[in-house]
Chains A and B, each alone.
Chain A
Amino acid sequence: MKTQQFSPKAVMGVAGAVMVLALAGCGSTPSSTSQSGRYGGTFTLAYQSDIPTLDPAGSPGFESAQAMYGLYNTLVTYAPTSTTIAPSLAQSWSVTAGGTVYTFHLRTGVKFSNGDPFTAQDVVYNLTRQINPKSASYAQSYYLDIQGAQAYAKGQASSVSGLKALNSHTLQVTLVQPEGYFLNILAMPTSDIADPRIVREYGKAYEDHAVGTGPYKLTEWKHNQVLTETRNPNYWGKKPYFSELKFILGPDPATQFLMFKRGEIDAMGPVPPADMPTINSTPALKKDLVVLADTGSIDFYFMDVRYGPFKNVLVRRALNDAINRKRLVALDAGQAVPANQYLPPGYPGSQSNLPPIPYNPSKARALLSQAGYKPGQLKLTLTVNNDPAVVQQAESVMANLQAIGVTVQLHTMSLSAYITALSGNQVHFGIIQWGLDYPDPSDIFSSLLVGAADGTGNFAWFNNAQVNHLVNEANAMSPQQEATRLKLYDEAQAIALNQQPWIPLIFPANTMLVSSSLHPAPTGANRYMYLGQLGIEANLIWK
């Protein structure tokens, strides 16, 4: 996840920003928690902008999810340090053989932080709210495979027929067709369960009074200044160690780094590459550095395969071979891995045995001349958003391409202008920084690599019948057939890697600084995405 210096969004677009890889822990008390330490104290963090929203239907992005993590629960979540689904508000569930009917048995005795009881009707309310077009949730499409959701979204039905509370603690969800990643969607922050009574009472002002079933409750939110969450006495799960989570809102990463060094905040992240040399040369800071390699994000450039020179696969291969990816890793102060495929390392479907894409300018030049371009003949325009790190990366790529005789003009624009230009199909050669919404190949393949026909997300307009078929087949498989699903995605990726509609650049690592007065030290094997999770899920405790 890249930080935008001035943008409230961490990564491109809200949807792409949200990456839900949580440690579960809720309810299931890991044995490692029998550590010595004391309860209490405040865990202080900083963000460079205000928290955009605390409403699950308010298009929560990266920053929002950090603060929402303490306030809410989802039906299901992820088991510690893994990508497998684990129980949360739903204690158990069953899926019919066809993979279309899910029955969730909800935990009993759960209360919202204000004391309201939690029931199956509340889940129906929250999921229906995501589908309601009036909520204008960016995540609506995730829920449209629920039976009756389309009709409800079009105003043809007064409720979603596929969402049923069988009794106060049993929920039945019927899908139109099997969906291999439906449980992943229920673990996204947009599936957080808010207290319907409070939502109705406050309407548009709900988020200032946000109430969920999470381990913490909202106590103070001074916009652009500070947000405080205190321990929820009604929490159903393991009692969290810290009595308070405090988010200082506003300081930019450079100031955060100074604050961390002065002990004013207990953790920060992602660490700007600019600060890495200082950290590497300061033992006390190096000790606090946590590098999480498995962040589930990728930076790549797409090439519109319908457009001019990009029609020729030789050109696409030439550009891929021309990139010095090690240099791009150096620009990230070494906190990244050169990309050799589309699925980030450590994620379901990612191939650990693929060789790196070689940096081979002479081969690239040969491919170009084979494609009929003399040096200096091929002229391209590369468009990127104006985040300083993205621009630097692009300047480096430009130099690589110029070295093989390609003239590149760089267009930079604000992130919002870039998102608009992308969606208006005005960009033929541009960047995508993608953070997985959930750990499943479908999040990359069905969002970005297929569906050229409906014109959303597939900015390379890559339209390969075989890939389309494989991905669609895998998407519509029940989660029980996990191994077969992943094989189909792998076949699709192999074809795409041969056709090269993208130039995969790097898999950025996530770097955090966590104060050494806390223990245990989080390790790279843990998949914390949000700093906000650290205080809850990492079992962090004051020494």
Chain B
Amino acid sequence: MNRNIWDYIGRRVLWALLTVFGITIINFAVIYLVPVNPAQVIAGIHAPHQTVLNIERALGLTQPIWVQYGIFLWHLLHLNLGYSYFAHRPVMQMIGQALPNTMRLGVAALVAELLIGVTVGYIAAFHSPGFLDRFLSIAAIGGMSVPNYWLGTMFIYLFAYRFPIFPLYGQGWANLVLPALTIGITGAAWYMRLLRTEILEIVHANYVRTARAKGVSERRVAIRHVTRNALIPVITLAGMDLAGLLSGVVIIETVFGWPGIGLMTWTAVQNLDIPTIMGVVLVASSLIVLFNLVVDVLYAFLDPRIRYD
């Protein structure tokens, strides 16, 4: 590899770190604009000032904001994200428990999205133009027009209660099906439309015409040339999508009571549990930045035409 690429990668990594750092600063600033005093929330509405002050001291809230941010950074250097104000546990430990759950759900959801999206997209593209293509396109758009929390609740009622195929509540593998399916149905349309567009585009492109001219059968054209080329953007989309899924799906995790990063975020934001919010922000933005970085770097290696400015 030439020097340019390594230079480029080095700059990208540095930039990724700076991005995460910038995000934590902005987030810290925004937290302090939210008119909630966590110590008062813990103390309750009729606690004397002294009690509130005790709690503020114990939480370190009496210090100036930049000192608090400094402490956050100092702890971070020691791989410590502090203690949750409300869960009374190290945030690191909470993330350690929530992240695997979110990963399981994220991967399952992505699989559902891909299974539905790619299948439907494939069928639609190869029946285009025609009734089936139009029908599937509308159906896919219909899927993305449904609020996911609505769909999730209906799934619980129908497939866990009315027809008890899946468990109502729990953390097992069977519990993954309904939330993954909810995300899958509401998210598959993006894949379906992307794949369909790509396939149609490639079908009209020159090299496919050439392949046909050489007498290769329609089917083999479809499978060999079209699919392989059309899947690349789909995989790119999946990579970025996964980053979003892993950084927590707040509403779906709330609906299903799934103990992942999303539920943790929601609980923390409600009470302004600052260490937990900061921990979640750090993890989530790092994941997004990391996935973008990986995609960019992969491109740099795969496609020499990219300019590294």
**A contacts B directly (C-beta below 8 A):** yes
Q: Does A25 contact B (CB under 8 A)?
A: no
Q: Are A16 and B40 in touch, CB under 8 angstroms? A: no
Contact with A along B34-59 (1 / 0, CB 8 A): 11111011111111111110110111
Count of interface residues, chain B, beta-carbon cutoff 8 Å: 49
**Provided the pairs A50-B87, A255-B169 are in contact, do residues A420 and B36 lie with their beta carbons within 8 angstroms?**
yes
Q: Does A136 contact B (CB under 8 A)?
A: yes
Whole-angstrom CA separation of A417 from B257 in the bound complex: 24
Contact with A along B135-172 (1 / 0, CB 8 A): 00000000000000000010011001100100011010
Q: Does B97 contact A (CB under 8 A)?
A: yes
Q: Are A262 and B164 in touch, CB under 8 angstroms? A: yes
| B42 partner, pick from A49, A59, A207, A223, beta carbons under 8 A | A59
Point out the residues of chain A lying under 8 angstroms from B44, CB to CB. Answer: 12-17, 138, 419
Q: Are A223 and B45 in touch, CB under 8 angstroms? A: no
| B45 partner, pick from A6, A414, A419, beta carbons under 8 A | A419
Point out the residues of chain A lying under 8 angstroms from B43, CB to CB. Answer: 13-15, 59, 138
Q: Are A416 and B41 in touch, CB under 8 angstroms? A: yes
A259 CB to nearest B CB, Å: 5
Which stretch (B125-133, B231-239, B259-267) binds chain A? B259-267
Q: Does A406 contact B (CB under 8 A)?
A: no
A474 CB to nearest B CB, Å: 18
> Nearest residue in B to A448 (C-beta to C-beta)?
B46
Point out the residues of chain A lying under 8 angstroms from B272, CB to CB. Answer: 416
Within 8 A of A (CB), among B12-44: 34-38, 40-44
Q: Does A464 contact B (CB under 8 A)?
A: no
B9 CB to nearest A CB, Å: 39
| B161 partner, pick from A134, A248, A252, A258, beta carbons under 8 A | A258
Point out the residues of chain B lying under 8 angstroms from A254, CB to CB. Answer: 153
Q: Does B210 contact A (CB under 8 A)?
A: no
Q: Are B48 and A251 in touch, CB under 8 angstroms? A: no
Contact with A along B196-212 (1 / 0, CB 8 A): 00000000000000000
B37 CB to nearest A CB, Å: 5
Number of A-B contacts (CB under 8 A): 152
Point out the residues of chain A lying under 8 angstroms from B34, CB to CB. Answer: 417
**Provided the pairs A138-B55, A261-B161, A423-B40 are in contact, do residues A250 and B257 lie with their beta carbons within 8 angstroms?**
yes
**Provided the pairs A258-B161, A414-B270 are in contact, do residues A53 and B88 lie with their beta carbons within 8 angstroms?**
yes
Contact with B along A126-148 (1 / 0, CB 8 A): 00000001111110110000000
Q: Are A416 and B270 in touch, CB under 8 angstroms? A: yes
Q: Are A419 and B41 in touch, CB under 8 angstroms? A: yes
Whole-angstrom CA separation of A50 from B254 in the bound complex: 13
Q: Are B267 and A49 in touch, CB under 8 angstroms? A: yes
Q: Are A259 and B55 in touch, CB under 8 angstroms? A: no
Point out the residues of chain A lying under 8 angstroms from B49, CB to CB. Answer: 454-456
Q: Are B168 and A138 in touch, CB under 8 angstroms? A: no
Q: Does A491 contact B (CB under 8 A)?
A: no
A→B interface (CB under 8 Å):
6-8, 12-17, 46, 48-50, 52-53, 55, 58-59, 133-138, 140-141, 153, 204-205, 207-208, 223-225, 248, 250-252, 254-255, 258-259, 261-262, 264, 414-417, 419-423, 432, 447-448, 454-457, 459
B→A interface (CB under 8 Å):
34-38, 40-52, 54-55, 57-59, 83, 86-89, 94, 97-98, 153, 156-157, 160-161, 164, 168-169, 171, 254, 257, 259, 263, 266-267, 270-272
Q: List 5 A-B contacts (CB under 8 A).
A: A14-B44, A138-B43, A140-B51, A250-B169, A423-B40
